[in-house]
Structure 1
Amino acid sequence: MKIFRYLAYGLIVVLASCSIKPEPIQYGMDGCSYCSMTIVDRQHAAELVTSKGKAFKFDASECMINHLNEQVDSDIALYLVNDFSNPGDLVDARAATFLISENIPSPMGAYLSAFKNREAAERVRQANGGVLLNWEELLERFSK
């Protein structure tokens, strides 16, 4: 009977440790999984989480995309980017709108910013110029 209890406890521990959720980015401490720069910019950071719960943190969306372009593993469960309008707030990259504007620098020089919704991105685009892209368009543009 005790062995079943220990097995149940062990199973609970294993299941709890494999949860698929973002890991908080420790700004000023965590390094980018792609370029190794310290992540300091709360408006441009990004994160990938695998289906096993492993988090990869990036100092910029372009680093995350470059990482994706070099990986053959498609085991990603969460694609997250910081919302430019709400620094530090991670949002689903697949539903985000992206702005490339030379008037808004990003850490790696791609001038790429992400927004939770298209309306916010459009307001910033009107003030700064640039082009709006969805996730699929962005991946296509950076695959070249």
Structure 2
Amino acid sequence: MMKKLLYLLIIFLVQSCSKETRPIAYGKDACDFCQMTIVDRAYAAQTVSEKGKQSKYDAIECMIHDLENSTVTMAVQRVADFSDPGKMISVDKAVFIINDSINSPMGAKLAAVNRKTYVATTKSADTFSWNDLLEHLLASDSIIQ
């Protein structure tokens, strides 16, 4: 009996420290920042801390707000690929687009697409790398509060 408990405890500890993201249960999981239910596969985001804590967000701007207020080091930061909803990509492999035609859940008009497949379709869109996006949004205080 003790051997079984020890085995289960080891499995639990190994899984709880994993730095791999767990799938988002759309329509069930709540955003860790604003508490809204995550429903739109085109705008979601996720983080995993160095210690394995999972966080899920209904919008990229919620993830940015959460990161802004955090001192925790993140091992993984992923965003939904707007051109392939539900597919998550690393923030380092994304191009971030701000355009009035984008209806992101929190109103920042923000989406991400895979850098490899991105083709500019409109001249009125502002595009950013992850670091440039953080600098732009946090400096201008233009993300929705």
**TM-score, normalised with respect to structure 1:** 0.84
Matches within 5 A, 1:63-78: 63-71=62-70, 73-78=71-76
How many residues end up aligned between the 2 structures?
A: 137
Aligned in 2, Cα 1:17/1:69: closer, same or farther, shift over 3 Å?
closer
- The runs of 5 or more residues in structure 2 that have no matched partner are 140-145
Matches within 5 A, 1:34-53: 34-53=33-52
Higher helix share: 1
Q: Pick the structure with greater CA Rg.
A: 1
- The runs of 5 or more residues in structure 1 that have no matched partner are none
Partner of residue 142, structure 2: none
Partner of residue 142, structure 1: 137
Q: Distance in 1 between matches of 2:90 and 2:54?
A: 14
**TM-score, normalised with respect to structure 2:** 0.84
**Offset, 1:105:** 1.2
Report % sequence identity: 40
For the aligned residue pairs, the C-alpha RMSD in angstroms reads: 2.1
Partner of residue 104, structure 1: 102
Matches within 5 A, 1:14-29: 14-29=13-28
